[in-house]
Structure 1
Amino acid sequence: MLFHNFAVQLYNMKRIFLWLSGAMLLLASCNQYNNVMKTADYDYKYEAAKEYFVKGQYSRSSVLLGELVTLMKGTSRGEECLYMLAMSEFCDGNFDVAHSYFKKYYQSYPKGVYVEYARFYAGRSLYESVPDTRLDQSSTMAAVKEFQDFLDYYPYTHLKDRTQEMIFALQDKMVEKEFEAAKLYYDLGSYMGNCSYGGSNYEACIVTARNALLDYPYASPERREEFSIMILRAKYQLAQQSVEEKRLERYRDTIDEYYGFMNEYPESKYLKDAQRIFAQSEKYVNKKS
């Protein structure tokens, strides 16, 4: 029992010692950082910033480099300082800030030592910060442009495969955005509250889905098939709800769409629905002929 109590006391003392040691190291580190911040020795401050970067202390590194980057502009260290500042912000998860610094680097140093990586990480910074598909995708398009510009400048880069993978992922995100928009129009159907300038939700669905098929030819076959059946369904619904003088023409248009769909997807999982639409459309056209 005495041995057990002694062992527990020893364990607790060890924990306290480790905690105190850690606290002392942290305090020493903070004091050292504060001293670095206060010094007017910019060479020392720059070397400290590099050391913080190597240790993964990116917030400290970026604060110091942010102060030095203007002071070192035009010197032998200016280029490295700006690039390392961009990388510090990137590694710290500040992707918008990182993008602006990477872009500033490749614009300021078009033949710089790190320019290839700066262009790559400019795109990567935007890639890491693209929003949910329900939100505006302008940053997604900007990321695609950054990556495409990068490949234009460095068509044989060893980063080509990684870059193309990210471009495809971004394009998939934009395709998904268009699919959700087209589906929303279809689901709204005959609701007219959002049609302030005429037209209908079904017409908007058709235009959105068609544009997506044209703009994103590399969308997955499954998603292209879903766009295509949505167009067919929307045309059928539009024909059903049309005024009498437009109905025959729109049913004929639906039939044409059906043949196009079947030609491209003869074994579609939507086959029964497509055939039902065709049968109903053909029945109306035959009755009016």
Structure 2
Amino acid sequence: MFLKMRKLIPFLSLILVMSSCNEYQKVLKNEDVKAKFDLAQKYYDAGDYKRANRLFEQIAPKYVGKPQGERVMFFFANTFFERKDYNMAGYQFERFIKSYPKSEKVPEASFLGAKSYYMLSPAYSLDQTDTNKALVKLQTFINMYPDSEYFDEANKMAKELTTKKEKKAFEIAKQFNKLGHFDYSFLTPAMAAFDNFISDYPGSIFREEALYLKFESATEYALNSFARWKPERLASAKTAYNVLKKQYPDTKFAEEADKLLGKIQEEIETPTTTKEKETK
């Protein structure tokens, strides 16, 4: 008996699936808006966001200005989010907020819209347009809804995206620094990039290393300059060292920094002759 029942289960499941498909197709082609709303709600509650999305899409225009319109539009936006179509989710949540600015669902819609753009944020090495958009949306949510249940998560996401932007800017500066070891002309943009990074991201986790690498670039730049420019550039390099030590007295780069400072002092006391690959 048990074996017979086991054989029947797949068959019964198939019948249920076919019945559900038939119901869906029938309602989809029907003009009965109420029937579509009820079935869309059923699919939404069951987690079948693909079918719910299609039905909500059909009836959303019919509910504009009606009491159920707010509910339909929010669920419609959320079906995109649940299906990981974050571009459309972000757009639809923005539409919901504009259409129903006084809705009690606005804080949640604001958060989910921001999170949609957060999910679109690419690796730090790629274009950060979506990252910037997500940060704006997240900061707006954080400022407007400090008591929201989503506040901590929003803060965490904003911090993660900020770090991603910091890393991109930092890696660009580091790349100039690396190139500067082979071509001294890259040391000028390296120092400028580190200065911009330090100014733009004062609380960055990469700040200490940025200050050290700025000093390293400045030292290489000074040591490989023409004699007439060396004194000024050596002095600038020493200033960069002092800034690093003042802000990070126990810096983890102390050993490397002190060695470079030793080269600067030696050059000041005993200037070397001009090299062929000097910078201007």
Q: SS in structure 1 opposite 2:270?
A: helix
Query: Residue 285 of structure 1: which of 262, 268, 271 is its match?
Result: 268
Specify whether residues 218 and 53 from structure 1 end up closer, same or farther in structure 2 by C-alpha distance, changes over 3 A only.
Answer: farther
Query: Residue 98 of structure 1: which of 86, 89, 111 is its match?
Result: 89
The normalised TM-score by structure 2 is 0.89
Aligned residue for 2:276? none
Specify whether residues 14 and 238 from structure 1 end up closer, same or farther in structure 2 by C-alpha distance, changes over 3 A only.
Answer: farther
The normalised TM-score by structure 1 is 0.87
Aligned residue for 1:275? 258
Aligned residue for 1:217? 202
Amino acid paired to 1:114? K
Query: Residue 73 of structure 1: which of 64, 82, 87 is its match?
Result: 64
Aligned residue for 2:218? 235
Query: Residue 153 of structure 1: which of 119, 141, 144 is its match?
Result: 144
Say yes or no: does 1:113 pair with 2:98: no
* Cα distance in 2 for residues equivalent to 1:19 and 1:209: 65
- The C-alpha deviation readout for 1:70-128, integer Å capped at 9, x for no partner, is 22211112221111111111111111110001111112221123111111111111111
Q: CA deviation at 1:217?
A: 2.8
Q: Is the 8 A contact 2:223 2:264 kept in 1?
A: no
Amino acid paired to 1:38? K
RMSD: 2.1
Q: Is the 8 A contact 2:110 2:141 kept in 1?
A: yes
Specify whether residues 14 and 250 from structure 1 end up closer, same or farther in structure 2 by C-alpha distance, changes over 3 A only.
Answer: farther
Say yes or no: does 1:44 pair with 2:38: no
Superposed structure 1 runs of 4+ greater than 6 Å apart: none
User: Can you give the 5+ residue segments of structure 2 that lack an aligned partner in the other structure?
Assistant: 272-280
* Cα distance in 2 for residues equivalent to 1:19 and 1:185: 63
Query: Residue 208 of structure 1: which of 166, 171, 193 is its match?
Result: 193
Q: Is the 8 A contact 2:223 2:267 kept in 1?
A: no
Q: Is the 8 A contact 2:169 2:197 kept in 1?
A: yes
Say yes or no: does 1:131 pair with 2:122: yes
Greater RCO (Cα-Cα under 8 Å, separation 6 or more)? 2
Say yes or no: does 1:31 pair with 2:31: no
Amino acid paired to 1:208? A
